[in-house]
Structure 1
Amino acid sequence: MTTYCVTGGAGFIGSHLCERLLRLGHRVLCIDSFNDVYDYRIKIGNVLNSTGSTESLSFTDKQTDLQQLPSIVNRDNYKLVVADIRDRASVNAVFASESIDVVIHLAAMAGVRPSIEDPMLYEEVNVKGTMHMLEAMRRHNVRKWLCASSSSVYGNQKKLPFSELDVVDRMISPYAATKKSCEVMGHTYFHLFGIDTIMLRFFTVYGERQRPDLAIHKFMRMLDNGDELTLYGDGSSRRDYTHIDDIIQGMLGALHYIETEERVYEIINLGTHHTVTLIELVQTLERCSGRSANIRWMPDQPGDVEQTYADVTKANRLFGYDPKTDFEEGIARFVTWYRGERKW
């Protein structure tokens, strides 16, 4: 049984990954701070779902709920640690008390626009927090890790599709800059201390359990409530939307690759090699939800890239990555999930 430490394991991507690793018979050590970016109860729901817990939690207040949650979900093959990766002592305490085989580092402050408002917080969590993880790995002889990067590091480059060989020195948001910093620091620890590293550049992940602050979730909520949709630009901006199932398959492939190879430092795109415009996204949501959108158009916002488009040749070559989820099918599944889970 392999022990995987998953930071941000109560979040959207992290909870799906924890669930899959448990189903595969592994042990999961989940670290999450349950910060206030969105309602902490959503993350509690993610943890309960990902662990298959049959017990319920009567929500009272955040401190009490988070004190009770580990006693509900912890078992031999799963342990929840409520901790902030900015707290170096807490991170070291976890590594000192556990025998960890692989770290999957997903914890981060996400989002382009909020990073412009509070860049220092993004540096503190995404850069310093990542260094705390790397230092703990170095000190406790953990030599394998996957780290979440982002397609935002490509900025507004015109060359398409985006390849891992492209020069990425012109980020247009603090969030993107922190992710590039983590890629560089990952290589430093690979070179100096032999920590095998895969940096996964995720391309606009969507699907069941998606965070409520992300576009697809927000648009769906507005459609169902009959609210006006505020769209920025002229609707022609494009994204390479990647369903959570395909992301998890890619992460499992990357795990197998890094666990069976030595001296690994790789940057790898996980996308679909297919783009969808903003207006096509709204039209797909309309079809799948049976709702009509009332759109209010606004100028482009600072930090938003014009398009993302993943070249996934490398992921396919290294571990057979082959995304399967059709966009409309994925949106239909999200709509079904959203309408069934709104109580959270």
Structure 2
Amino acid sequence: MRILVTGAAGFIGSKLSECLLARGDEVLGYDNLNDYYDPRLKQARLARLQPLAGFRFAHASLEDRAALERAFADFAPQRVVNLAAQAGVRYSLENPRAYVDSNVVGFLNVLEACRHGGIEHLVYASSSSVYGANRKLPFSVEDSVDHPVSMYAATKKANELMAHTYSHLFGLPTTGLRFFTVYGPWGRPDMALFLFTRNILAGRPIDVFNQGRHSRDFTYIDDIVEGVVRTLDRVPGPDPQYDPMAPTPASSDAPYRVYNIGNHRPVELLRYIEVLEDCLGRKATMRLLPMQPGDVPDTYADVEALRRDTGYSPSTPIEVGIERFVAWYREFYGE
């Protein structure tokens, strides 16, 4: 197939593009290579893709409507995976407009291009952050998600609502994936594992929020990408079980689905740090701090719906995933 992947120089997008190319798909990567974090890492990911047969690249942002429309017209994709977004919960407190520009205006441009391009299936990144102030664990796609606690979360919930509208009005098949704390080689420098590794190796203290008492459903990159590919290959139709008298947020009488994609095994942050210390062979000096605004105490994905519909089965424990990340980090940065 011809698949357009936005955010192709990003953490998930680059690995997904690699996997799609390996199975024989053509991929147009679309990315603006912005400086939210070190663009050199994005360039390094991109450099791994550019020699591969079937890969093309467009350097532009989602907000650039003309550039996006050109990419659709020139490449004529059959399916689209939208991973480009302004990421990060904490940064959304400092620069909320960046989230509206990329995650709302940019996503509208993607939806319009898919609608007019006759796209067979749009898979897009949502986030576990949509669960916000919810406390019932594990988080289920059947639960209401009407209490976001960050602007980032609000824009991701908005994406789900916008996608449903296009599925309903125009018959565009859409699937939203609520990602749960993705980690692994080539990961994002603003994420905890990257920050902790860099500081521990440099002999600097690490900031541990909520005194390390919160837990996260850490999900290894290979498991995430396998789930994205399985989802991409399954085009949703109207849910025959959908009851408008008792609606569920997870499906619709339109060709629309939302799934959690996580490890289904929450790990306390202090345990995560302990495994990292073992892999690095060094102890961390921890600066224990209160919980950050916009953060939530725990995340835990109920992935039964994704398992049932696609066969998704995450299999990488943190002991293996962190060891692989550390090996990559040491090689990439010469540590």
Match of 1:311 in 2: 302
For 2:98, give the aligned amino acid.
L
Preserved contact between residue 18 and residue 49 of structure 2 (Cα < 8 Å): yes
Do residues 175 (structure 1) and 152 (structure 2) align?
yes
Q: For residues 68-217 of structure 1, what are the structure 2 equivalents within 5 Å?
A: 77-217=54-194
Do residues 239 (structure 1) and 222 (structure 2) align?
no
For 2:264, give the aligned amino acid.
H
Q: For residues 213-292 of structure 1, what are the structure 2 equivalents within 5 Å?
A: 213-258=190-235, 264-292=255-283
Residues 210-243 of structure 1 deviation map (CA, whole Å, 9 limit, x = unaligned): 0111110110011111111111112110100000
Preserved contact between residue 239 and residue 307 of structure 1 (Cα < 8 Å): yes
Mark the runs of 5 or more structure 2 residues left unpaired by the alignment: 239-253
For 1:172, give the aligned amino acid.
V
Do residues 327 (structure 1) and 327 (structure 2) align?
no
> The residue matched to 2:233 in structure 1 has which SS?
helix
How far did 1:177 drift? 0.3
How far did 1:343 drift? 5.6
Preserved contact between residue 277 and residue 284 of structure 2 (Cα < 8 Å): yes
Residues 293-322 of structure 1 deviation map (CA, whole Å, 9 limit, x = unaligned): 011112211000111000010011001011
Preserved contact between residue 272 and residue 318 of structure 2 (Cα < 8 Å): no
> The residue matched to 2:320 in structure 1 has which SS?
helix
How far did 1:87 drift? 0.8
For 2:126, give the aligned amino acid.
S
Instruction: Give the percent of matched residue pairs that are identical in Structure 1 and Structure 2.
Output: 45
Residues 46-85 of structure 1 deviation map (CA, whole Å, 9 limit, x = unaligned): 012234x3xxxxxxxxxxxxxxxxxxx7x6x111000011
Match of 2:241 in 1: none
Rounded Cα–Cα distance in structure 1 between residues aligned with 2:186 and 2:205 = 23
Rounded Cα–Cα distance in structure 1 between residues aligned with 2:65 and 2:213 = 44
Preserved contact between residue 162 and residue 311 of structure 1 (Cα < 8 Å): yes
Number of residues of Structure 1 aligned to a counterpart in Structure 2: 320
For 1:308, give the aligned amino acid.
T
For 1:280, give the aligned amino acid.
R
Rounded Cα–Cα distance in structure 2 between residues aligned with 1:143 and 1:124 = 26
> The residue matched to 1:340 in structure 2 has which SS?
helix
Residues 157-178 of structure 1 deviation map (CA, whole Å, 9 limit, x = unaligned): 1111000000000000000000
Match of 2:5 in 1: 6
Match of 2:36 in 1: 37
Rounded Cα–Cα distance in structure 2 between residues aligned with 1:96 and 1:301 = 43
Match of 1:300 in 2: 291
Rounded Cα–Cα distance in structure 2 between residues aligned with 1:44 and 1:268 = 30
For 1:35, give the aligned amino acid.
N
Question: Which of 321, 330, 333 is equivalent to 1:339?
Answer: 330
Q: 14-23 or 134-143, which moves further after superposition?
A: 134-143
